[in-house]
Amino acid sequence: MQHGLRITAAALALLVALSSVAQAKTQEELKQSLEKKLAKPFLKNAAWVQDYDEAKKQAKAQNKLIFAYFTRSYSP
């Protein structure tokens, strides 16, 4: 029975992997998605710093916290 479960788990993992590949976007589509997100008004209304080391430097100088937003929706 263990052997059957391993085969089933392997088959499921393969299906998930194939599904991910089928949904993968091209580099151009990813760049367009990023540009579309960066054009949103809420991102234009603040002085965002995209360099983490620079953000730490500024936060320390101004005695402020860092708000960090990480996403993977446009990364390969």
pLDDT per residue as tens, the chain (76 positions): 455 555 566 666 666 665 555 456 788 888 888 888 888 888 778 778 888 999 999 999 999 999 888 776 655 5
Which tokens sit at 71?
């996403």
What 3-state DSSP class applies to 51?
coil
Q: Tell me which residue has tokens 């391993």.
A: 6
Which position has the token pair 């996403």? 71
pLDDT given at position 60: 96
Within 8 A by CB and 6+ apart from 64, the residues are 58
Cα separation, 42 vs 39, in Å, equals 9
pLDDT for the residue numbered 1: 47
pTM above 0.75? no
